[in-house]
Amino acid sequence: MLNIEQIEEKIYRIPIPVPFPMKYVYCYLFQEADGWSLVDAGFHYPDAVDTWKQVFKQLSVNPKNIRSIYLTHFHPDHFGLAGWMQELTGAKVFISKEDYVMAERVWGQNSRQASRVGAICRQNGVPDSLAAQIEENMKKLSKHVTPLPSLTVLEEKEVTLGGKTWRVIPVPGHSDGLVNFYQPEQRLLLAADHVLDKITPNISLWPGCRPNPLKDYFSSLNKIDELDIKLVLPAHGAVIHQIQERISEIRLHHEKRLNQMFSLAKDGQTAYKIASEVFQHKKLSPHQWRFAIAETLAHLEYLVSMNQLIKGERNGIIFYKHNVEKGA
């Protein structure tokens, strides 16, 4: 038996396995008057497909009765099985306008995103051999998001889930087009990867995305902090009861990381050199290095936007250093 949690009367929290350290992505199945709605689909690999088949059997769900599929964002652990699920159910698949664009850019047939990521890595001091591994690792991800779904842009400000009206809340940061769903009467927030228990969401700078994702993320945290929330339903880890406390912890984490990276920049360092210092306690795979570099860049670019660092270039390599003229 799968450990499916029932939240309220018509909401089911489904643990779909992923081949990453977090072990599961939690998708949410909502019972409607005329069928079911689904939020997020999982990563396309055999264990996840088998788990969905068990879910349908355990909850006595006929997949053809799934009417709508909502994707919180385009990342592969949420998006990957959407095409498979659409073929199985015939349901429309909705995603925000921003991540509709990013899905095509990253997962589309003519995508050059892996080579763009490799180029950014090299520009920021990553050795050629590691940059090539990062690029190759990213190319391999594409097989875990096919078949690609036919996407519909989510333009509505409200959606019906479990017979209740939920507000659609854009929360850019973790991805440009990440959305949360908020139910004011039940005081529930379906948070996806915006706020997580124990781990902090990865906030990264990628080719083609908005230029200051960490600034976006702080603004999005403020937006959620203002809501009256009893329970947060995230996509990884445990449900969260004390949302304001968790938001404070996440803010503190980023403040510490910003201070650390500011100190490491000194009179000129590359993002790779700074990331090597920040993550020196971990042995990183190429997959993890990709996120380490992109997360470091998000923090460094935030510091540039705050006039604490300035960005320069030497021999085609970008470096960051203290802005000694700040306040002068």
Q: Is 39 exposed, middle or buried, given 0-12, 13-18 or 19+ CB atoms closer than 10 A?
A: buried
Q: What is the mean pLDDT of the chain?
A: 97
16-20 mean pLDDT: 96
Structure-derived torsion over alpha carbons of residues 128, 134, 138, 140, reported in degrees to the nearest 10: 90
Residue identified by tokens 């603004």 is: 219
261-287 mean pLDDT: 95
Interatomic CA distance for residues 177 and 86, integer angstroms: 21
pLDDT exceeds cutoff 60 at 37: yes
Confidence class for position 327, pLDDT limits 50, 70, 90: very low
Start-to-end C-alpha separation, the chain: 65
pLDDT exceeds cutoff 70 at 312: yes
Label residues 285-314 b or e (16+ Cβ within 10 Å = b): ebebbbbbbbbbbbbbbbbbeeebbbeeee
CA nearest to 116, candidates 290, 326, 262, 307: 290
Confidence class for position 1, pLDDT limits 50, 70, 90: confident
ω into 147 cis (within 30 of 0): yes
pTM higher than 0.85, yes or no?
yes
Interatomic CA distance for residues 124 and 326, integer angstroms: 24
Interatomic CA distance for residues 192 and 27, integer angstroms: 9
Token pair, residue 102, equals: 């990013």
In this predicted model, what pLDDT tens digit does every residue of 160-181 receive, in sequence order?
A: 999 999 999 999 999 999 999 9
Could you please report the per-residue DSSP string of 238-283? S-BS-HHHHHHHHHHHHHHHHHHHHHHHTT-B-HHHHHHHHTTTS-
Length of the chain: 328
Interatomic CA distance for residues 322 and 304, integer angstroms: 9
245-261 mean pLDDT: 98
In this predicted model, what pLDDT tens digit does every residue of 73-97 receive, in sequence order?
A: 999 999 999 999 999 999 999 999 9
pLDDT for the residue 325? 79
pLDDT for the residue 326? 65
Q: What angle do CA 139, 133, 40 make, to 5 degrees?
A: 40
- Asked if 161 and 39 touch (Cβ cutoff 8 Å), the reply is yes
pLDDT for the residue 282? 85
pLDDT exceeds cutoff 90 at 24: yes
pLDDT for the residue 328? 41
Give the rounded percent of residues in the chain with a pLDDT score beyond 70: 99
Interatomic CA distance for residues 121 and 39, integer angstroms: 33
pLDDT exceeds cutoff 90 at 33: yes
10-34 mean pLDDT: 96
pLDDT exceeds cutoff 60 at 157: yes
- What domains sit in the chain, N to C, each tagged with a CATH number? 5-322 (3.60.15.10)
59-67 mean pLDDT: 98
